[in-house]
């Protein structure tokens, strides 16, 4: 990399590090929104492995998020009286979610496209309904009431729920989570990029492009598909664990079909298969609705002097319209995978 | 050309519902020969190919490859054993570059897994570099190295055929099975293809060829088998097969009545 590139990178890192401090001055809510957006980027990048690289349409992806969240919740809350440290639970959540991914993958190996979508959709619902009903005969998930009082992160004796002051700068709880998420996100991006440019990533793309030819070219498509499901799911599980820690509360309501579709929309809108496109798509779909939430009402007040349309309705209308327009004019996504260009850049 | 037997198919049968696509087909291919499989449309040539390369499960019979029974029904094991194939209607990975297509072919001969890829271990880097180098060599070999970074779907028809052969070669096969490689090619391209196939043999490969272009088959192959309605009706050197009355009947219909 040239000095100029290093300089650019340093600027980006500095900006990212300073972001929560700036946002805190606007309102802590925005830090929380940013954190949630990063979680969605996390999810979208996990789903990108399954849908974008391996071409397996998964409509129940949020189930793995749920598995990760519940693993965290059950092992670090008064519900079972367990309070394991996060560095055990987060990997455990990823592991469980990965296993759930393989369990979903196994019976669907022969399915593609629409058929696979239907089965994965059903799987997502099954997981949610399980969470909803596993309060009897033994109370495991506490049913629709969910699990409360989940431990937050606790790094080196620093509790993440309280505000700490370092060098005279107050760091709120959400701001600290932001830094943890930023580290995790960097890891996920690196993993995604490296997998993409490996023999595993190529095998996934080959399966997406032509499964029969991939088989004939010597790829064990069964194992590769299971691996894609498990990898994608373990990302979802990690995100779920962080979600549980940040919110301090999980219930089945957070893991509805709508969320699966939202994550899928992020992947498709950004550009399937392209890590940076997916990142942009997830950011956009996380922030735009929040932005509209804060602007729709004041703008109406300003223009008409009164509230004509309910903000929530208008917000979804604008949001949906934007999605339709994007798909109409940029069907491959805002930032599509351009393998050709990637290859050229690699030659320097 | 009387090398040792490389592949021996014994009584291969395949049925699709009421249609007996293959009936007790047996044939032997010797090492380093170019073996032609011909027959009228619908004779079962491609079906035989698909059974042999593991894409279709077979209903009966077995295939011995280098004396070892092939695990049919699992294409990647067939590829691992050393049989590579191309398709009649070219099947490339359209949105991957030419060189990536060939690199996919190296999958079966390489080993680094997920963790190696994520951690980018020295072993992984070395293997990745070797994969790229080999893919580059193969593109040179089939003569399309100038298209290495173009998407496969943007290649010309003839180049796509060559790319498919390069991808098959990347799996380090002993037997290369080509399904109608000259289909849709003009005379110049066919001549070039012929040279390529002869070169493959000179480099130690055994080639199984399904082809409609009788002139190409007769000129190129050491031995030819003829399928008709799923049965083998002849197997010999081209000169003899050409004069076989059963073969002439299969192609032209029974003469005079």
| Residue B202 vs residues B29, B32, B34, B197, B199: alpha-carbon distances, Å | 16, 8, 11, 9, 5
3-state secondary structure of A118: helix
The tokens for A199 are: 């023999």
Q: What is the pLDDT along chain A (348 residues), one digit of tens a residue?
A: 678 888 888 888 888 887 877 777 777 788 888 999 999 999 999 999 999 899 999 999 999 999 999 999 999 888 887 888 888 899 999 999 999 999 988 888 888 778 898 999 999 999 999 989 888 778 888 888 888 888 877 776 667 766 767 676 667 778 888 888 999 999 999 999 999 889 999 999 999 999 999 999 999 999 999 999 999 999 999 999 999 988 889 989 889 888 898 899 888 888 888 889 899 889 988 888 888 777 877 887 888 877 777 777 777 787 788 788 888 888 777 887 765 444 444 433
Q: How many domains does chain A have?
A: 1
| Residue B227 vs residues A348, B161, B241: alpha-carbon distances, Å | 53, 25, 12
Q: Identify the CATH homologous superfamily for domain B5-82+173-252.
A: P-loop containing nucleotide triphosphate hydrolases (3.40.50.300)
DSSP B98: H
Whether residue A314 is contained in a domain is answered as no
Whether residue A152 is contained in a domain is answered as yes
- Strands B60-65, A158-159: pairing is unpaired
CB contact under 8 A, A339 and B151: yes
**CA A342 to CA A196: how far, in whole Å?**
11
Whether residue A336 is contained in a domain is answered as no
CB contact under 8 A, B168 and A217: yes
CB contact under 8 A, A227 and B150: no
Q: Which of A199, A201, A221 sits opposite B110 (nearest CB)?
A: A199
CB-count exposure of residue A346 (10 Å: 0-12, 13-18, 19+): exposed
pTM for this entry? 0.89
Report phi then psi at A197, rounded to 5.
Answer: -100, 40
Whether residue A127 is contained in a domain is answered as yes
Q: Residues in chain B with pLDDT < 50?
A: 1, 256-257
How far does the CA of residue A220 sit from the closest CA of chain B (Å)? 6
Whether residue A2 is contained in a domain is answered as no
Q: What angle do CA A262, A263, A267 make, to 5 degrees?
A: 115
CB contact under 8 A, B171 and A217: yes
Locate all alpha helices (DSSP H) within chain B, ordered by sequence.
Answer: 45-52, 75-81, 98-105, 114-119, 122-142, 157-169, 187-202, 214-220, 238-243, 245-252
CB contact under 8 A, B124 and A198: yes
| Residue A284 vs residues A34, A38, A322, A334: alpha-carbon distances, Å | 11, 11, 11, 11
Range of the domain at A221: 25-271
What residues of B are in contact with residue A209 (Cβ under 8 Å)? 92-96
Whether residue A248 is contained in a domain is answered as yes
Q: How far is CA A340 from the centre of its chain?
A: 27
Q: What is the CA radius of gyration of chain A?
A: 21
Predicted-complex ipTM score: 0.90
Considering only alpha carbons, which residue of chain B is nearest residue A209?
Answer: B93
Residue ranges covered by each domain of chain B: 5-82+173-252
**CA B217 to CA B224: how far, in whole Å?**
8
C-alpha torsion A290→A11→A196→A115, nearest 10: 0
Report phi then psi at B38, rounded to 5.
Answer: -125, 175
Q: Which of A198, A206, A343 sits opposite B117 (nearest CB)?
A: A198
Considering only alpha carbons, which residue of chain B is nearest residue A346?
Answer: B149
CB contact under 8 A, B91 and A343: no
CB neighbourhood size of A135 (10 A)? 14
CB contact under 8 A, A199 and B131: yes
**CA A296 to CA B15: how far, in whole Å?**
66
Whether residue A293 is contained in a domain is answered as no
Number of A/B CB contacts below 8 angstroms equals 115
Q: Which of B87, B131, B149 sits opposite A213 (nearest CB)?
A: B87
For residue B2, the model assigns a pLDDT of 52
B170 in Cβ contact with B103 (< 8 Å): yes
What residues of A are in contact with residue B94 (Cβ under 8 Å)? 209-210
Q: Which of B91, B97, B107 sits opposite A343 (nearest CB)?
A: B97
Report phi then psi at B225, rounded to 5.
Answer: -115, 145
**CA B149 to CA B230: how far, in whole Å?**
42
What residues of B are in contact with residue A203 (Cβ under 8 Å)? 104, 107
Q: What is the CA radius of gyration of chain B?
A: 19
Which site among B103, B118, B152 would you substitute to test the A interface, given the most A Cβ atoms closer than 10 Å to its Cβ? Answer: B118
CB contact under 8 A, B149 and A347: yes
Whether residue A298 is contained in a domain is answered as no
For residue B139, the model assigns a pLDDT of 95
């Amino acid at each position: 990399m040239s000095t100029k590139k290093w300089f650019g990178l340093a600027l980006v890192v500095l900006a990212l590090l300073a972001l929560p401090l700036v946002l805190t001055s606007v309102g802590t809510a925005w830090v929380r929104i940013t954190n949630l957006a990063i979680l969605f980027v996390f999810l979208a990048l996990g789903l990108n492995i399954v849908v974008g690289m391996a071409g397996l349409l998964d409509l129940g992806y949020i189930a793995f998020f749920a598995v990760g969240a519940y693993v965290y919740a059950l092992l670090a809350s008064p519900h079972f009286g367990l309070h394991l440290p996060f560095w055990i639970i987060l990997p455990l959540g990823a592991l469980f979610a990965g296993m759930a991914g393989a369990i979903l993958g196994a019976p669907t190996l022969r399915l593609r496209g629409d058929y696979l979508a239907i089965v994965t959709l059903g799987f997502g619902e099954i997981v949610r309904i399980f969470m909803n009903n596993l309060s009897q005969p033994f109370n495991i998930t506490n049913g629709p009431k969910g699990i409360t009082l989940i431990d937050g992160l606790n790094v080196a004796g620093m509790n993440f729920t309280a505000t700490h002051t370092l060098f005279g700068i107050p760091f709120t709880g959400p701001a600290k989570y932001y830094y943890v998420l930023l580290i995790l996100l960097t890891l996920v991006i690196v993993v995604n990029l490296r997998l993409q440019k490996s023999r595993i990533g190529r095998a996934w793309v080959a399966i997406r492009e032509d499964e029969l030819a991939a088989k004939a070219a010597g790829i064990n498509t069964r194992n590769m598909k299971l691996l894609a499901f498990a990898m994608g799911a373990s990302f979802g599980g990690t995100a779920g664990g962080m979600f549980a820690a940040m919110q301090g509360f999980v219930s089945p309501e957070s893991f509805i079909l709508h969320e699966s579709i939202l994550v899928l929309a992020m992947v498709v809108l950004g550009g399937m298969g392209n890590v940076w496109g997916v990142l942009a798509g997830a950011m956009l779909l996380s922030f735009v609705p929040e932005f509209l939430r804060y602007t729709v009402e004041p703008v109406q007040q300003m223009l008409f002097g009164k509230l004509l349309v309910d903000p929530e309705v208008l917000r979804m209308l604008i949001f949906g319209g934007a999605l339709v327009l994007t798909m109409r004019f940029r069907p491959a996504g805002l930032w599509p995978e351009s393998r050709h260009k990637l290859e050229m850049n690699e030659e320097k | 050309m009387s090398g040792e037997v490389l592949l021996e198919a014994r009584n291969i049968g395949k049925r699709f519902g009421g249609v007996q696509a293959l009936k007790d087909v047996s044939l032997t291919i010797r090492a380093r020969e170019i073996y032609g499989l011909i027959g009228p449309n619908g004779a079962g040539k491609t079906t035989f190919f698909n059974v042999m390369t593991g894409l279709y499960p077979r209903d009966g019979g077995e295939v011995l490859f280098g004396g070892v029974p092939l695990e049919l029904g699992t294409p990647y094991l067939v590829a691992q054993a050393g049989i590579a194939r191309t398709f009649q209607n070219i099947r490339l990975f359209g949105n991957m570059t030419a060189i990536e297509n060939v690199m996919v072919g190296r999958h079966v001969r390489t080993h680094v897994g997920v963790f190696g890829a994520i951690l980018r271990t020295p072993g992984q880097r070395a293997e990745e570099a070797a994969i790229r180098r080999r893919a580059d060599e193969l593109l040179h070999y089939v003569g399309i190295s100038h298209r290495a970074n173009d998407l496969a779907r943007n290649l010309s028809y003839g180049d796509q055929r060559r790319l498919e052969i390069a991808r098959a070669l990347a799996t380090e096969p002993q037997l290369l099975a080509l399904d109608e490689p000259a289909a849709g090619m003009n005379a110049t391209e066919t001549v070039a293809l012929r040279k390529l196939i002869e070169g493959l043999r000179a480099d130690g490969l055994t080639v199984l060829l399904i082809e409609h272009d009788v002139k190409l088959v007769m000129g190129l192959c050491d031995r030819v088998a003829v399928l008709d309605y799923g049965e083998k009706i002849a197997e010999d050197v081209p000169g003899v097969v050409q004069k076989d009355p059963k073969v002439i009947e299969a192609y032209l219909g029974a003469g005079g009545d």
